[in-house]
Amino acid sequence: MSGLRIGLIAASRFPVAEPFAGGLEAHVWALAEGLRRRGHAVTLFAGPGSDPRLGVELLDLRRARISPAARADVSMSAPDWLDEHHAYLQLMVRLARAPDFDVVHNHSLHHLPIAMAATIGAPVLTTLHTPPTPWLESAIQVHESCPVTFAAVSAHTARAWSHLVPDAHVIHNGVDVTRRRPGPGGGPLVWFGRIAPEKGTHLAIDAAVLAGRPLQLAGPVADAAYYEAEIRPRLDREGIEHVGHLSHAELNRLVGEATAALVTPCWDEPYGLVVAEALACGTPVCAFARGALPELLRDDVGILVAPDDVSGLAAAIADAPRLSRVAAREYAIQACSVDRMVDQYEELYMSLAGAPVP
């Protein structure tokens, strides 16, 4: 199979580089790296600080020259919003002028790559990573028949968009299981990810305390006010520790040594990459049954409880040692690997580009 020329459009807010700010950045990095290894020519349009090994062209987030008169106008948007708008507008105009790709795959959360897709001389695929938003819904309806092909990161997310996108391809996110090695378990519980209200970090702490088990938190503080109000006071409890934003190797070791990983979303997770990452380390998952999580977990590798049910999560923690770490690792290889994800995207790219599908 000859290589394709693939343009990947990332979200601009955070760099696509380790340590990842969140699941979206980790997903785009894994996809770009997986495609590059298979011989495809990948260009990643991403924000400053992104991994240069991925063939990055930086999105131009330099502030547009807006006159004092325009800034004084009541319609003036927030400067950061305007920077992002200007960067994606420049990108889409550049792609329209120089159709250098066999397929363009959009992972941004911005409306312009969808609204302006018809101007590009290549098929455009957009992966839906979030619940519906007004800007993206508007962009889909710019044309009577939207020229974009859509994928969704879970069946749950596909259903959420089905009123406008009835035929999204469901392709679960994947993790590089070769870079995540199974650990021995038996250590403190672990919670990892962005520390923000929608991730429910405080509920994980409360459940661990109720279960009488130590808990280590790993990840960046995405919401400082939430951290100061809800997390820092709880760190005074015995056995609760925030170990910071770790490197890949450090996080892999921490998760592999944990007895179980707690996943506590306070919103309907479109996918839940931390579930796949934990299972790849052989670590069972105790989680709230929200969003896509029920379609990611089997009974032998995870325990689901009702959303926001701290006492139920504490009971799951007590029951977690019965779950098989070997089964968790095997399930991750079978269902959650980046190779499986890249296989599916590669097949879709070939179909969109009119190339023979192997």
> What does the domain layout of the chain look like in residue ranges?
5-174+338-353, 189-335
Q: Is pTM beyond 0.85 here? A: yes
Q: How far apart are alpha carbons 58 and 44 in whole angstroms?
A: 8
What are the beta bridge partners of residue 189?
215
How crowded is residue 142: how many other Cβ atoms within 10 Å of its Cβ? 14
Question: Average model confidence (pLDDT) for the chain?
Answer: 93
- What fold is seen in the domain 189-335? Rossmann fold (3.40.50)
Instruction: Please classify residue 322 by burial: count the beta carbons closer than 10 Å to its beta carbon, then call 0-12 exposed, 13-18 middle and 19+ buried.
Output: exposed
Q: What order of strands is seen across the sheet that includes strand 261-263? A: 240-242, 215-218, 189-192, 261-263, 285-288, 302-305
Considering the domain 5-174+338-353 in this protein, what is its CATH number? Answer: 3.40.50.2000
Q: Determine the pLDDT at residue 225.
A: 98
Tens of pLDDT, residues 55-114? 898 887 776 788 888 778 777 778 777 888 888 999 999 999 877 899 999 999 999 999
